[in-house]
């Protein structure tokens, strides 16, 4: 008589990994509503405080997890320092463009950027990691290119927000791939925010001095001047930044990459629904057409991923003994 084994440690890890990964993407999907609640703070002030408050939160996490030695060790590895400095630049670009998109009511462009981010990641793998694409992946790349052309022609403007977000986060993922297992999530985020903190402080000072371009409100720093609820929401920027990244790292360590790929569409889907139904952004036929074509590309990727998972399981299945 053969008994059916329970889920075991591997099954528990899979469930926990999915829970962490889904939680991360759901929190990222809710970011437009969070940034909307921070108005009238300008985008550059939000990003600056986000960096400063993130390093403060990371310092607390390093103390609680006794990770200061790991964090200090990063600074002694010149190769890691170079990669993480580049990662810091890329994530700063990504954060700035994303917050700017929400401030000018372009959440749908941001959602589009994260919908096409997997396509960009695939192309970067081909160019820099010499990965080979399967036919459905190539089809998804071509379909996504068609979608960008349709949106550019139909709306009369190149979707620069979408492309910048997709490229910056795609290259960020590539850089993080290069650091491999040498950098844990908390230490990596702490390094990146520490590297950006001098620039963030400089930005805060310039906004306080009413520097044109950085102070769109014309009143200087807004943080702490609206009301208690607003100040509390702003003060959570570090937590809001760090927690999804930590959840994501916890999920990625427990899940096969294919499963991570399937969950990453949650965030842009929630951003899309938020932009259309909660923030009331316009959806002319041209935009519906562009998004529809992108969703076809995503469907191709999902089908390809499911097929790859099924083939992997069959290859790993033990032979049946008669």
Does residue 129 belong to any structural domain of this protein? yes
Distance CA 119, CA 107 (A): 20
Decide if 83 is inside a domain: yes
pTM of the model: 0.86
Q: Which domain holds residue 91?
A: 17-312
- Cα 290 from chain centroid (whole Å): 22
pLDDT tens digits in sequence order for the chain, 322 residues long: 444 444 566 667 778 888 888 898 899 999 999 999 998 999 999 999 999 999 999 999 999 999 999 999 999 988 889 999 999 999 999 999 999 999 999 999 999 999 998 888 888 888 887 778 788 888 988 998 899 899 888 878 889 999 999 999 889 888 877 776 678 888 888 999 999 999 999 999 999 998 887 877 677 899 988 899 999 999 999 999 888 888 887 777 677 655 666 778 889 999 999 999 999 999 999 899 999 999 999 999 888 878 877 776 666 655 444 4
Domain-embedded: residue 244: yes
- Residue 101 forms part of a structural domain: yes
Q: What is the pLDDT of residue 94?
A: 94
Q: What integer pLDDT is reported at residue 316 of this predicted model?
A: 60
Residue 5: per-residue pLDDT: 45
Task: Tell me, yes or no, whether 118 lies in a domain.
Answer: yes
- Residue 8 belongs to a domain: no
Tell me, what's the pLDDT at 311?
76
CB 183 within 8 A of CB 74: yes
pLDDT given at position 264: 80
- 197 neighbors 126 (Cβ within 8 angstroms): no
In a domain, 3, yes or no: no
**Predicted pLDDT at 207:** 93
**Measuring CA to CA, which residue among 93, 72, 251 is closest to residue 172?**
93
CA 255 to chain centre: 17
Residue 54 counted as domain residue: yes
How many structural domains are present in the chain?
1
pLDDT of residue 313: 67
Can you give the three-state secondary structure of the chain, one letter per residue? CCCCCCCHHHHHHHHHHHHHHHHHHHHHHCHHHHHHHCCCCCHHHHHHHHHHHHHHHHHHHHHHCCCHHHHHHHCCCHHHHHHHHHHHHHHHHHHHHHHHHHHCCCHHHHHHHHHHHHHHHHHHHHHHHCCCCCHHHHHHHHHHHHHHHHHHHHHCCCCHHHHHHHHHHHHHHHHHHHHHHHCCHHHHHHHHHHHHHHHHHHHHHHHHCCCCCCCCCCCCCCCCCCCHHHHHHHHCHHHHHHHHHHHHHHHHHHCCHHHHHHHCCHHHHHHHHHHHHHCCCCCCHHHHHHHHHHHHHHHHHHHHHHHHHHHHHHHHCCCCCC
HSE of 146 in the Cβ direction (CA atoms, 13 Å)?
13
pLDDT of residue 317: 58
């Amino acid at each position: 008589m053969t008994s059916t084994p329970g889920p075991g440690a591997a099954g528990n890890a899979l469930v926990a990994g999915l829970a962490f990964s889904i939680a991360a993407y759901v929190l990222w999907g809710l970011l437009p509503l969070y940034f909307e609640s921070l108005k009238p703070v300008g985008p550059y002030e939000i990003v600056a405080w986000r960096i400063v408050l993130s390093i403060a939160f990371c310092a607390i996490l390093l103390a609680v997890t006794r990770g200061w030695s790991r964090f200090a060790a990063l600074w002694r590895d010149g190769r890691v320092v170079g990669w993480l400095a580049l990662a810091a630049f890329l994530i700063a670009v990504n954060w700035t463009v994303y917050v700017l998109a929400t401030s000018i009511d372009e959440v749908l462009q941001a959602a589009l950027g994260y919908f096409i981010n997997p396509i960009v990641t695939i192309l970067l793998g081909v160019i820099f990691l010499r990965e080979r694409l399967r036919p459905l992946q190539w089809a998804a790349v071509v379909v996504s290119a068609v979608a960008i052309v349709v949106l550019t022609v139909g709306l009369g403007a190149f979707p620069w927000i979408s492309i910048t977000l997709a490229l910056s986060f795609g290259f960020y993922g590539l850089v993080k791939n290069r650091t491999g297992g040498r950098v844990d999530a908390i230490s990596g985020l702490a390094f990146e925010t520490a590297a950006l903190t001098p620039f963030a402080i400089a930005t805060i000072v310039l906004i306080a001095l009413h520097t044109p371009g950085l102070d769109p409100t014309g009143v200087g720093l807004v943080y702490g001047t609206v009301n208690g609820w607003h100040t509390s929401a702003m003060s959570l920027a570090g937590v809001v930044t760090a927690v999804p990244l930590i959840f994501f790292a916890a999920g990625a360590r427990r899940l096969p990459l294919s499963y991570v790929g399937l969950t990453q569409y949650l965030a842009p889907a929630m951003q899309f629904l938020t932009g259309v139904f909660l923030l009331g952004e316009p959806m002319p036929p041209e935009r519906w057409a562009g998004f529809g074509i992108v969703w076809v590309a995503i469907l191709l990727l999902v089908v390809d991923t499911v097929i790859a998972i099924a083939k992997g399981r069959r290859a790993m299945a033990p032979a049946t003994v008669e």
